[in-house]
Structure 1
Amino acid sequence: MNIAGNIWKLYVIKTSKWFMVYMPIIVLFIQSNGLNLREVMLVNAIYSISIAFFEIPSGYFSDRLGRKKSIILGTLFIAAQFLAYSLSYDFWSLGLGAVIGGLGASFISGTDSALLYDSLTILDRKGDYLKWEGRTYAIGTFSEAVAAIIGGWLAYTYGLRYPIYAQVGISLIGVLAALTLVEPPIQKANKKGNWEQMRYILRHTFLENKKLRFLILLAAISGLSSLLLAWFAQPYFDYKNIEENKIGYLWAVLNITVAFFALNAHHSSKILTSKQLTFIILFGFGIGYAVLGCYGGASLGIGLTAMFVMYALRGLATPTFLNLINQNAPSDMRATVLSIRGFTVRVLYALLAPILGWVADVYSIQETFLLMGGVIGLATIVAIGFYSLILQDNR
Structure 2
Amino acid sequence: MSVLKYKFLKINNINKFKVYLITFISNFILFYSPIIFLFYKNFGIDIFKIGIIFSVTSISNIIFEIPFGLFADKKSPKLSVCIGSVMITLSLVGLFFSTNFFQFLICAIFMAVGDAGMSGANSVLLMNLLEREEEVFEISSISSGISNILGGLIIGFIYNINIRLPFLISMVLSILNLFLYLSISEKHINTEKEKVQIENVNFKTAFFIFKKQIFIFLILLLSYISIPQVAIYFPEYLDFFKINAKYIGIMYMIANIISMFGTKFHQIYLKKYNPIVKLKYCFLFLMISTFVMWISKNFFVSMFFYAIYRFITGYFYLLFSMYINSKTDLHYKSTILSIKNVIVQIAFILSDPLVTFIIKEFGISISYCFAFISITVIFLIVLFYKTGDSKETLFEKKPA
TM range (shorter): 0.7 to 0.9
Match in the other structure for 1:266: 267
Check conservation: 1:110, 1:338, Cα contact below 8 A: yes
Q: Which moved more, 1:374-383 or 1:59-68?
A: 374-383
Check conservation: 2:261, 2:314, Cα contact below 8 A: yes
Check conservation: 1:359, 1:367, Cα contact below 8 A: yes
RMSD: 3.6
Match in the other structure for 1:21: 31
What is the alpha-carbon distance in structure 2 between the residues aligned to residue 238 and residue 130 of structure 1? 38
1:368 correspondence with 2:372: no
What is the alpha-carbon distance in structure 1 between the residues aligned to residue 162 and residue 242 of structure 2? 18
Q: Which moved more, 1:26-35 or 1:270-279?
A: 26-35
Is the radius of gyration larger for structure 1 or structure 2?
Answer: 2
Match in the other structure for 1:251: 252
Q: Which moved more, 1:313-322 or 1:336-345?
A: 313-322
- What amino acid is the match of 1:184? K
Question: Using a 3 Å threshold, how does the CA distance of structure 1 residues 227 and 39 change in structure 2: closer, same or farther?
Answer: farther
Check conservation: 2:86, 2:178, Cα contact below 8 A: yes
Match in the other structure for 1:335: 334
Matches within 5 A, 1:202-241: 202-203=207-208, 205-207=209-211, 209=212, 212-225=213-226, 227-237=228-238
Matches within 5 A, 1:293-304: 293-295=294-296, 298-304=297-303
Could you tell me which of 184, 198, 203 is aligned with 2:203? 198
What is the alpha-carbon distance in structure 1 between the residues aligned to residue 259 and residue 74 of structure 2? 33
1:151 correspondence with 2:160: no
Q: Which moved more, 1:342-351 or 1:139-148?
A: 139-148
Tell me the percent identity: 20
- What amino acid is the match of 1:199? K
What is the alpha-carbon distance in structure 1 between the residues aligned to residue 288 and residue 111 of structure 2? 32
Could you tell me which of 135, 139, 143 is aligned with 1:139? 143
Match in the other structure for 1:172: 175
- What amino acid is the match of 2:176? I
Check conservation: 1:52, 1:346, Cα contact below 8 A: yes
Question: Using a 3 Å threshold, how does the CA distance of structure 1 residues 382 and 182 change in structure 2: closer, same or farther?
Answer: same
Q: What whole-Å deviation, never above 9, does each CA across 1:75-125 have from its counterpart, x for those lacking one? A: 2233344444455677765554443322222222222222233444xxxx3
- What is the total number of aligned residue pairs between the two structures? 379
C-alpha displacement at 1:379, in angstroms? 3.7
Check conservation: 1:151, 1:248, Cα contact below 8 A: no
C-alpha displacement at 1:143, in angstroms? 2.1
Match in the other structure for 2:346: 347
What is the alpha-carbon distance in structure 2 between the residues aligned to residue 358 and residue 143 of structure 1? 31
- What amino acid is the match of 1:145? I
Check conservation: 2:73, 2:201, Cα contact below 8 A: no
C-alpha displacement at 1:362, in angstroms? 4.1
- What amino acid is the match of 2:376? G
C-alpha displacement at 1:224, in angstroms? 4.8
- What amino acid is the match of 1:251? Y
Question: Using a 3 Å threshold, how does the CA distance of structure 1 residues 175 and 365 change in structure 2: closer, same or farther?
Answer: farther
What is the alpha-carbon distance in structure 2 between the residues aligned to residue 161 and residue 82 of structure 1? 10
SS of structure 2 residue aligned to 1:325: helix
Question: Using a 3 Å threshold, how does the CA distance of structure 1 residues 151 and 349 change in structure 2: closer, same or farther?
Answer: same
| TM-score (normalizing by structure 1) | 0.79
C-alpha displacement at 1:40, in angstroms? 6.3
What is the alpha-carbon distance in structure 2 between the residues aligned to residue 274 and residue 303 of structure 1? 28
C-alpha displacement at 1:273, in angstroms? 2.5
SS of structure 1 residue aligned to 2:31: coil
- What amino acid is the match of 1:320? L
What is the alpha-carbon distance in structure 2 between the residues aligned to residue 159 and residue 293 of structure 1? 40
What is the alpha-carbon distance in structure 2 between the residues aligned to residue 42 and residue 27 of structure 1? 12
What is the alpha-carbon distance in structure 1 between the residues aligned to residue 122 and residue 103 of structure 2? 29
Question: Using a 3 Å threshold, how does the CA distance of structure 1 residues 161 and 197 change in structure 2: closer, same or farther?
Answer: closer
Matches within 5 A, 1:98-117: 98-117=108-127
Q: What whole-Å deviation, never above 9, does each CA across 1:198-256 have from its counterpart, x for those lacking one? A: 313422x244x4xx433333344445556434532344456666667643333222222
What is the alpha-carbon distance in structure 2 between the residues aligned to residue 95 and residue 365 of structure 1? 31
Check conservation: 2:23, 2:139, Cα contact below 8 A: no
- What amino acid is the match of 1:130? E
C-alpha displacement at 1:170, in angstroms? 3.2
Match in the other structure for 1:276: 277
Question: Using a 3 Å threshold, how does the CA distance of structure 1 residues 107 and 244 change in structure 2: closer, same or farther?
Answer: farther
What is the alpha-carbon distance in structure 1 between the residues aligned to residue 286 and residue 119 of structure 2? 23
Match in the other structure for 2:5: none
1:10 correspondence with 2:14: no
SS of structure 2 residue aligned to 1:141: helix
- What amino acid is the match of 2:364? I
- What amino acid is the match of 2:205? Y
SS of structure 2 residue aligned to 1:191: helix
Q: Which moved more, 1:102-111 or 1:165-174?
A: 165-174
Check conservation: 1:261, 1:312, Cα contact below 8 A: yes
| TM-score (normalizing by structure 2) | 0.78
1:325 correspondence with 2:349: no
Question: Using a 3 Å threshold, how does the CA distance of structure 1 residues 131 and 183 change in structure 2: closer, same or farther?
Answer: closer
